[in-house]
């Protein structure tokens, strides 16, 4: 090797180690001056010898001044959110639920919940190849160029033993000191300060100029390893391995064997967190065993093996000025309080949700009241009480409205619901716009419509329902405010591309009340064409797993509406996908038709959720409880004793994994 190349390689290796010691371990090995001199020496050699350029050189962390175009990327594994709890009682419920589901010993890993912006890092052969934001959980933005500037994130891993390909997730943070400095600079230059470190971190990560990102002094903590060939079978040990590879793993991570140890951790950090250099908003609890995690599985939105305990929200007192009533896409009317501006958890709060008529009644709200406001989960402001002793010259009592504020239709409230809603689904403007906005959203038809697009097209008279979107051409929108020829063409192209969106997502996009993503998938599997779904009876609908009377009634009401059927036929004429893909249909059988299953225990080949999908895919039905109608119990290790006893009493056949897989 040439002497110059050897010098460059040695400098790179040393600077990477010094970076790690300083930014990850907080144990600097050399002075700042010595470090800067070595970096300048490396920069000079690299400039003189461009043939030895390396994108992973520590000198490249300064970023480029070229603009990034953030490209949406699909996550290898969905980035789900955690279910939140706000009391120790709910933590105990989670612990007891986990204990009952596993029916064996387990450990809980407690970690601090850092208040930043989520990131997913992909490494191939020890080198950072991609960094993706959470996005909508299915797709995020590629922000690799910006993340490469963060010095606590290794571009190249240390040591050995890491998988050839893996993903690690964590949080990008802005420490309090850097946050305060940044805001001082923004105020001096006449810019609005960031409200809190979370917003500043998220805004920095999406800044188009990577040199600006490099100057922001972002930091990171990593907390979750994913891949096919992880070094350990427990979450805690995987984190310790990742620490050895150069990742910044929080020292505030504890493995707990009992609920008492979990509470000790929560109590300690509820006070001590205020002394940390970064913002935190809670504690995350995770089942330690990877096998147990797989068997506990996931809901549509979050893992069953983890939960977030949120620290008690900050509260403030302010005056209620007025109440507005907003209409959502499903017709639900939500009351919103207009408040005297007040600082709360780092942001100025001017509005707060009042949720529904029952909440308003319970609070006994009057215009002019001094209200106690807090942030639920420190995100959504809400009114939790009224200072009745401070009442003086107050205004009228707040009453829930009786007619829709948008169209004047009398509001309806179902007996088993807390909310009022407007039944004028086809003539109420906010509902119409809301349904179209839902239709074009990323999880639905993924049409390239930015904020304000639906409003602009509606006001221009171009659309009155979702089907009208497919009639728009470039000439229709080219020339509208903020619409050039290129943006108009991109929109029309995305309309054409949306015709390839699969049937379950099209069904979700229709916006049927109570039909979310998961329910839409279940309905699509049970009724492989839209015609079969439209012809389904109430009994046939509730025979589908997780479909109850409320959802079945909503589906029937939707298809009974003449306007909805008319729009459906229009969408069909534009060749949208209203049938399951042939490949999915080919996997579907009737091997388990008429058979009802209960799943219990811990499995080796598949998780519980995967077995539920297999049962439905092959025509069977899942239920949670054993009854005389149960045909089989699919039993893994440590099957629940109550279910076993009931099965024996009723004579229900118990089968294991291998026997089940032979059946299908």
Do the Cβ atoms of 602 and 100 come closer than 8 Å? no
pLDDT of residue 66: 42
pLDDT digits (tens, 9 = 90+) for 484-543: 888 899 999 999 999 999 999 999 999 998 888 878 988 998 899 999 999 999 999 988
- pLDDT band of 469, cuts 50, 70, 90: very high
| Torsion sign across C-alpha atoms 40, 45, 47, 53 | negative
pLDDT digits (tens, 9 = 90+) for 116-145: 899 999 999 999 999 999 887 888 889 998
Name the residue with tokens 């009592």: 397
pLDDT of residue 22: 63
Whether 582 is catalytic is no
Pinpoint the alpha helices (H) of 139-272. 144-147, 176-188, 197-205, 210-215, 235-244, 259-272
b/e 29-50 (16+ beta carbons within 10 angstroms → b): eeeeeebeebbeebeebbeeee
pLDDT of residue 153: 95
* β pairing state of 108-114 and 253-256: antiparallel
Q: Which of 13, 44, 100, 113 is catalytic?
A: 113
Same fold, 84-310 and 589-663: no
- Cα separation, 551 vs 512, in Å, equals 9
Residue 61 has pLDDT above 80, yes or no: no
- Residue 164: both structure tokens together: 């050839």
In angstroms, the first-to-last Cα distance of the chain is 61
Mean pLDDT, the chain, rounded, equals: 87
- Residue 599: both structure tokens together: 């799943």
Query: What single DSSP character describes residue 85?
Result: E
In the three-class reduction of DSSP (H, G, I as helix; E, B as strand; rest coil), residue 5 is classed as: helix
* β pairing state of 347-353 and 333-344: antiparallel
- Cα separation, 597 vs 620, in Å, equals 7
Residue 62 has pLDDT above 60, yes or no: no
The conformational region for residue 231 under phi > 0 = left, psi -120 to 50 = alpha, else beta, is alpha
- Cα separation, 350 vs 117, in Å, equals 24
Q: CATH: 2.60.120.620, 3.30.470.30, 3.30.43.10, 2.60.120.200. Which one for 84-310?
A: 3.30.470.30
Name the residue with tokens 């986990």: 98
Neighbours of 404 (CB within 10 A): 25
Q: How long, in residues, is the chain?
A: 664
pLDDT digits (tens, 9 = 90+) for 304-360: 999 999 887 778 899 999 999 999 888 989 899 999 999 876 678 899 988 888 889
- Cα separation, 571 vs 311, in Å, equals 47
pLDDT digits (tens, 9 = 90+) for 557-613: 999 999 999 999 999 999 999 998 876 666 778 889 889 999 988 888 887 778 888
In the three-class reduction of DSSP (H, G, I as helix; E, B as strand; rest coil), residue 158 is classed as: coil
pLDDT digits (tens, 9 = 90+) for 385-422: 999 888 887 889 999 999 999 999 999 998 777 789 99
pLDDT of residue 642: 75
Do the Cβ atoms of 248 and 169 come closer than 8 Å? no
What's the gap between Cα 207 and its chain centre? 21
- Residue 591: both structure tokens together: 């091997």
pLDDT of residue 309: 94
pLDDT of residue 377: 44
pLDDT digits (tens, 9 = 90+) for 218-272: 999 999 999 988 999 999 999 999 999 999 999 999 999 999 999 999 999 988 8
> What does the angle CA 566 – CA 567 – CA 571 come to, to the nearest 5 degrees?
120
> What does the angle CA 280 – CA 285 – CA 289 come to, to the nearest 5 degrees?
140
Q: Which percentage of the chain shows pLDDT scores above 90?
A: 50
In the three-class reduction of DSSP (H, G, I as helix; E, B as strand; rest coil), residue 582 is classed as: helix
Domain residues of the chain, as ranges? 3-62, 84-310, 429-500, 503-586, 589-663
Neighbours of 585 (CB within 10 A): 12
Question: Among candidates 176, 173, 123, which has minimal Cα distance to 151?
Answer: 173
| Torsion sign across C-alpha atoms 352, 358, 362, 366 | positive
- Residue 662: both structure tokens together: 């032979």
CA atoms within 13 A on the CB side of 121: 30
What's the gap between Cα 9 and its chain centre? 41
Neighbours of 247 (CB within 10 A): 26
pTM of the shown model: 0.57
pLDDT of residue 536: 95
Identify the CATH class of 429-500. Answer: mainly alpha
User: Torsions phi, psi of 504, nearest 5?
Assistant: -60, -40
User: Which segments of 1-155 are extended strands (E)?
Assistant: 72-74, 84-85, 108-114, 117-124, 127-133, 139-141
CATH of domain 503-586: 1.10.150.20
Query: Dihedral through CA 220, CA 226, CA 227, CA 228, nearest 10?
Result: 160
Superfamily in which the 589-663 domain is placed by CATH: BRCT domain (3.40.50.10190)
- Cα separation, 206 vs 211, in Å, equals 12
Q: Which residue has the higher pLDDT, 196 or 361?
A: 361
Do the Cβ atoms of 636 and 657 come closer than 8 Å? yes
Strand partners, 380: 376
**425: buried, middle or exposed (CB in 10 Å: 19+, 13-18, 0-12)?**
buried
pLDDT digits (tens, 9 = 90+) for 617-661: 888 888 878 888 899 999 988 777 778 888 888 999 999 999 999
pLDDT digits (tens, 9 = 90+) for 290-305: 999 999 988 777 899 9
- pLDDT band of 380, cuts 50, 70, 90: low
pLDDT of residue 516: 84
Query: Dihedral through CA 58, CA 63, CA 68, CA 71, nearest 10?
Result: 20
What's the gap between Cα 104 and its chain centre? 30
- Cα separation, 273 vs 253, in Å, equals 13
- Cα separation, 119 vs 205, in Å, equals 10
- Cα separation, 420 vs 200, in Å, equals 38
Pinpoint the alpha helices (H) of 20-104. 32-48, 88-102
- pLDDT band of 112, cuts 50, 70, 90: very high
- Residue 55: both structure tokens together: 């994108």
Considering the segment(s) 3-62 as one domain, its CATH architecture is Orthogonal Bundle (1.10)
Pinpoint the alpha helices (H) of 273-387. 290-296, 357-363
In the three-class reduction of DSSP (H, G, I as helix; E, B as strand; rest coil), residue 166 is classed as: strand
3-state helix, strand, coil in the chain (%, to 5): 40, 20, 40
Question: Among candidates 501, 568, 582, which has minimal Cα distance to 533?
Answer: 568
Do the Cβ atoms of 94 and 284 come closer than 8 Å? no
């Amino acid at each position: 090797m040439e002497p110059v190349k050897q010098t460059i390689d040695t400098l790179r290796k040393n600077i990477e180690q010094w970076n790690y010691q300083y930014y990850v371990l907080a144990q600097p090995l050399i002075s700042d001056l010595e470090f800067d001199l070595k970096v300048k020496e490396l920069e000079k050699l690299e400039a003189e010898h461009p043939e030895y350029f390396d994108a992973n050189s520590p000198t490249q962390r300064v970023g480029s001044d070229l603009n990034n175009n953030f490209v949406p990327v699909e996550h290898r594994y969905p980035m789900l959110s955690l279910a939140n709890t706000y009391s120790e009682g709910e933590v105990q419920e989670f612990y007891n639920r986990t204990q009952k589901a596993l029916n064996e010993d387990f450990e809980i890993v407690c970690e601090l919940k850092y208040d930043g912006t989520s990131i997913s890092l992909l490494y191939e052969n020890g080198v950072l190849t991609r960094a993706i934001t959470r996005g909508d959980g299915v797709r995020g933005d590629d922000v690799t160029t910006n993340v490469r500037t963060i010095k606590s994130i290794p571009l190249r891993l240390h040591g050995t033993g890491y998988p050839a390909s893996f993903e690690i997730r964590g949080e990008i943070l802005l420490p309090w000191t850097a946050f305060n400095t940044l805001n001082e600079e923004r105020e001096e230059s006449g810019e609005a300060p960031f409200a809190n470190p979370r917003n500043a971190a998220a805004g920095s990560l999406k800044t188009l100029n990577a040199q600006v990102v490099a100057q922001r002094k972002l930091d990171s903590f990593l907390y979750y390893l994913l891949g096919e060939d992880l070094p350990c079978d427990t979450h805690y040990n995987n984190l310790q391995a990742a620490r050895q590879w150069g990742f910044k793993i929080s020292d505030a991570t504890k493995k707990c064997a009992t609920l008492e140890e979990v509470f000790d951790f929560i109590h300690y950090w509820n006070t001590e967190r205020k002394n940390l250099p970064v913002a935190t908003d809670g504690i995350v609890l995770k089942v330690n065993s990877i096998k147990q995690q797989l068997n506990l599985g996931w809901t549509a939105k979050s893992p069953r093996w983890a939960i977030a305990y949120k620290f008690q929200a900050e509260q403030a007192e302010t005056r209620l000025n007025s109440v507005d009533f907003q209409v959502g896409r499903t017709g639900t009317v939500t009351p919103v309080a207009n408040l005297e501006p007040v600082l709360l958890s780092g942001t100025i709060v001017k509005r707060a949700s009042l949720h529904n008529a029952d909440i308003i009644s319970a609070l006994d709200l009057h215009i002019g009241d001094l209200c106690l406001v807090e942030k639920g989960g420190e995100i959504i402001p809400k009114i939790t009480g009224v200072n009745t002793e401070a009442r003086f010259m107050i205004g009228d009592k707040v009453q829930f409205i009786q007619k829709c504020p948008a169209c004047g239709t009398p509001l309806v409230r179902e007996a088993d619901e807390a909310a009022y809603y407007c039944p004028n689904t086809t003539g109420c403007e906010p509902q119409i716009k809301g349904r179209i906005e839902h239709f074009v959203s990323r999880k639905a038809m993924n049409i390239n419509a930015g904020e304000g697009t639906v409003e602009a097209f509606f006001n221009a008279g171009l659309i009155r329902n979702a089907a009208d979107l497919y009639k728009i051409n470039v000439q229709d929108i080219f020339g509208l405010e903020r619409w050039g020829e290129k943006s108009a063409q991109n929109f029309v192209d995305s309309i054409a591309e949306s015709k390839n969106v699969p049937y379950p997502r099209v069904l979700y996009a229709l916006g049927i009340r109570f039909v979310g993503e998961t329910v839409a998938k279940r309905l699509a599997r049970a009724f492989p064409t839209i015609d079969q779904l439209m012809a389904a009876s109430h009994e046939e609908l509730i025979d589908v797993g997780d479909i109850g009377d409320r959802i079945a009634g909503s589906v029937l009401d939707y298809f009974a509406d003449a306007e909805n059927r008319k729009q459906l036929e229009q969408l069909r004429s534009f060749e949208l996908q209203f049938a399951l893909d042939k490949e999915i249909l080919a996997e579907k059988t009737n091997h388990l038709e008429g058979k009802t299953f209960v799943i219990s225990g811990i499995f080796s080949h598949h998780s519980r959720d995967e077995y539920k999908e297999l049962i439905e895919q092959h025509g069977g039905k899942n239920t949670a409880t054993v009854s005389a109608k149960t045909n089989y119990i699919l039993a893994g290790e440590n099957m629940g004793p109550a279910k076993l006893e009931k099965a024996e009493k009723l004579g229900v056949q118990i089968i294991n994994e291998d026997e089940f897989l032979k059946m299908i």
